[in-house]
Amino acid sequence: MKESATHETARRYGMVIDLDKCTGCGACMVSCYAENNVPFKKDESNKLDSINWIRVVKMTNQKPYPDTQICYLPMPCMQCDGVGKHGHSPCVSVCPAVATDYDFTTGIVSQIYTRCFGCRYCMAACPYHARKFNWWDPVWPADMEKYLSPNVSPRMRGVVEKCSFCFHRYQLARDKAYQEERAELEENEYQPACVEACPVKAMTFGDLNNPAHAVYELKNHKHAFRLLERLETNPKVYYISSKEWVRRNGDNYLPDEAPGRLKSKAKARH
Amino acid sequence: METPLIPPGVKRCPTWQFALWMAAVGAVLLWGVYAMILVWWKGLNQTNMNDAYGFALWIWADLAVIALGGGAFFTGFLTYIIGKDKLKGIINYAVIIGFICYSSALLILAIDIGQPLRGWFIFWHANVHSMLTEVAFCLSCYFGVLTIEFIPLILENPRLAAKPFLHHLSHNMHEIMAVFAATGVFLSFFHQGSLGGVAGVLFGRPFAYREGIFIWPWTFFLFTWSAAACGPCFTILVTWITEKITGKKLVQQDVIGLLAKIAGWMLITYIIAKSIDTLYWALVTAPGMGFTLMDFYTDHPIYNIGILFAEIVLCGFLPALILITRRGRENGFLLILSVLLAVLGCSINRWVMVLQVMAVPVFSFESWFLYSPSWQEVATTILPVAYGVILISLAHRYLPVFPQEKELNPAN
Grade residue A265 by pLDDT with cuts at 50, 70 and 90: low
Instruction: Give the pLDDT of residue B214.
Output: 87
Quickly state the pLDDT bin for B264 (edges 50, 70, 90): very high
Chain B residues inside the 8 Å CB shell of A61: none
pLDDT at B278 over 60: yes
Please list, residue by residue across A209-227, b when 16 or more beta carbons sit within 10 angstroms of its beta carbon and e when fewer do. bbeebebbebbeeebbbbb
Q: Among residues B123, B199, B126, B184, which one has the least CA distance to residue B150?
A: B184
Residue A5 inside a domain? The answer is: no
pLDDT exceeds cutoff 90 at A261: no
pTM for the full predicted model: 0.93
Residues of chain B above pLDDT 70, percent: 99
Nearest alpha carbon to residue B70 among B193, B241, B253: B193
Residues in A closer than 8 angstroms to B50, CB to CB, are 46, 48-49, 135
Q: Is B367 on the interface with A (CB under 8 A)?
A: no
| A3 assigned to some structural domain | no
Which domain, by its residues, includes A113?
13-269
**Mind listing the pLDDT tens digit for each residue in B156-177?**
999 999 999 999 999 999 888 8
B-facing residues of A in 161-220 (CB < 8 A) are none
Give the mean model confidence (pLDDT) for residues B197-208: 96
Q: What are the structural domains of chain B?
A: 15-408 (1.20.1630.10)
Q: Does B304 touch chain A (CB under 8 A)?
A: no
Q: Is 70 exceeded by the pLDDT of residue A269?
A: no
Chain B residue numbers with beta carbons less than 8 Å from the beta carbon of A225 are none
pLDDT digits (tens, 9 = 90+) for B59-73: 999 999 999 999 999
**What SS3 class is residue A162?**
coil
Q: Is residue A6 part of a domain?
A: no
Asked, for residue A2, whether it belongs to a domain, the answer is: no
Q: Is B110 on the interface with A (CB under 8 A)?
A: no
Residue A59 has pLDDT above 50, yes or no: yes
pLDDT at A263: 57
pLDDT at B2: 65
Query: Per-residue pLDDT averaged across B351-355, rounded?
Result: 96
pLDDT of the residue at B178: 87
Residue A252's CB: how many other CB atoms inside 10 A?
Answer: 23
CB contact under 8 A, B205 and A46: no
Are A97 and B50 inside 8 Å of each other by CB? no
Which chain A residues have a beta carbon less than 8 Å from that of B287? Answer: 254
**Mean pLDDT computed over A89-96:** 95
Count: domains in chain A: 1
Q: How far is A127 from chain B (nearest CA, A)?
A: 5
pLDDT tens sequence across A143-184: 888 899 999 999 999 999 999 999 999 999 999 999 999 988
pLDDT tens track for B357-408: 999 999 999 999 999 999 999 999 999 999 999 999 999 999 999 999 999 9
Task: Using a CB–CB cutoff of 8 Å, tell me whether A70 touches chain B.
Answer: no
CB contact under 8 A, A117 and B45: no
The answer to whether position A8 is within a domain reads no
pLDDT at A2: 47
Write down the pLDDT at residue B299. 92
Write the DSSP assignment of B219-241 as a string of letters. HHHHHHHHHHHHHHHHHHHHHHH
Q: Does pLDDT of B291 surpass 90?
A: yes
Residue A103 forms part of a structural domain: yes
The CATH number covering residue A82 comes to 3.30.70.20
Nearest to B129 by CA among A1, A199, A161: A1
Question: Does the structure show a pLDDT above 50 at B21?
Answer: yes
Q: Are A5 and A107 in contact (CB under 8 A)?
A: no
Q: Are strands A237-240 and A13-18 parallel, antiparallel or unpaired?
A: parallel
Q: How does the average pLDDT of chain B come out, rounded?
A: 95
